[in-house]
Amino acid sequence: MSSVGRSGVVASAHRLASEAGLKVLKRGGNAVDAVVATALSLGVVAPAFSGVGGGGFMLVHLGKQGKTLYIDYRETAPAKATRDMFKADADGEAVNLENSMGYRAVGVPGSIAGLTHAIENYGNLKFKDVASHAIEYAKRGFAISKILAYIMANNVDNSFEKFRRFGETGKTWLKDGRPLKAGKMMANKELASALELVTAEGADAFYHGKLGESLVNDMAKNGGLIRDSDLSHYEIAERKPVTGTYRDYEVVAMPPPSLGGMAMVQLLNLFENLDLKGMGHNRPETIATMAKALGLVYGNLRKSVADPAFMEVPVERLSSKDFARKLWFGEGERGSAQDTTRKNWTTHMSVIDKERNVAAITESLECFFGSGVTIPGTGICLNDTMHDFDTQQGGINSIEPGKRPVSNMTPTLLLKDGEPFLVAGSAGGPRIVTATLQTILNVVEHGMDIPEAVNAPRMHYQGTGAIRIESRIPPGVRKKLDAMGYSTQVPNYSQLTPGYDLYFGGVHAALVGKRGELRGGADKRRQGHVAAY
């Protein structure tokens, strides 16, 4: 299947998911239909990363209408959640992993509300049409991928411990007490039935019906916090993008409660006045300049961005060119940077259709397999998004009932002369911003085609500690950075494809080429796939 086309392109973290999106495009669906089909399929075939028990953000750009918006279907804290519900250890993490494993870690899921809303309001097809491929994969089965097998076999994010501790999840993912191996076929017929119920009853099946009832009953039996009222009161939010400009492009990014979009606009504002192209790709001076900018931006935004329903976020000021200039030259107020060690896992997908509509989703269960809790009889694995709140009390990202936690997720669109040029986003928690940013710069500043831009070696930095350097960046570059006074580190988290480390995110992107062709880029770090026609 081609990665270049004229009528549609889909890039995601799994071949079957990208193919599902492309089939929907060929049946007359638009980019929104295709991205929802892709997301639902990923929840079946790559369930460690995302699924209908989680939440996310969707970018929608309607070409003929010239309309761009974001659908926020991020999880929320249950009404019974309290600021002091988790006790913090010396590293600021919850004692006994209570905010990342088990029933109290679960936020109110938003995926079903968000995906059905998108189809009903912006799609061409019915939800049953776009869900059919995910249902087929769940019914008939799919082969366990190498990356999924790796996660399970190596107990990443305590995934095997979750299978062992929570029997409803273990019955799906364990055979004779062991995780399923790569290439092994498996089905999830209970999940297929749950998705069929949503196709018949819509989001009500989850928020007012049988699926929600099963969730609430299980929560009540096991010390969880979610109740009927949490589900019935859950609402998605349509949000106005954060916008900026970079060179000849308009930048469209995710607004709060994500700090990712604000970070993207601030960083591009900073880099606009610098000659990154002249510095060269992944040269010591380039990486040092990017590290300085990342430290400034992360330090500032950690004290400035939270759920806008709980605090006023000065979006216009933070996204201005003047603010970036003052930040760079030390004229404005700075915050304290923090090197976040959480490995929050996520997935991203990007779609462009023949009408030049664009849709992109970044979704997550938070840690691999989320909380480890599966709703009995449904195959729906639930998130651990309470992990995204700060365990300390009194901060702007502390736990409050109904609140959405701060996120790094930012599906990002570049327009040129009002027309879509590039759409990108990433997985990888704190690496989302740096991975997406470097992909954009690789195209705009360094002239790379989108597959090369997505898969070029990356760096990551959050303001303190070491600059993380992917192993394919030459040792001489690292030595020069060390000589410049920077500490560097080469992670070795997982390299299913040698040299492409899972730590550095998972970008899936698409662009409109110079001759109008649609081109996709899929990340080798996540064994991604592009489908186009």
Buried b (16+ CB within 10 A) or exposed e, 123-147: bbbebebbbbbbbbbbbebbbbbeb
User: Which pair of tokens denotes residue 282?
Assistant: 């992944």
Q: Is residue 412 annotated as part of the catalytic site, yes or no?
A: no
Distance of CA 75 to CAs 226, 231, 236, Å? 12, 11, 9
Distance of CA 153 to CAs 78, 142, 150, 226, 381, Å? 32, 18, 5, 31, 18
DSSP classification of residue 176: T
Of 286, 346, 347, 412, which residue is the catalytic one?
A: 346
Which 3 state secondary structure label does DSSP give 159?
Answer: helix
User: Which pair of tokens denotes residue 485?
Assistant: 């006074």
User: Which pair of tokens denotes residue 180?
Assistant: 């399923």
Report the C-alpha dihedral over residues 115, 116, 121, 127, rounded to 10 degrees: 110
309 Cβ partners below 8 Å, 6+ apart?
402, 403, 404
Q: What is the 3-state secondary structure (H, E, C) of 445-479?
A: CCCCCHHHHHHCCCEECCCCCCEEECCCCCHHHHH
Note whether 368 and 356 are within 8 A (CB): no
Note whether 244 and 251 are within 8 A (CB): yes
Residues paired with 426 in a beta bridge:
507
Sheet holding 488-489, edge to edge: 459-460, 467-469, 488-489
Active site residues: 346
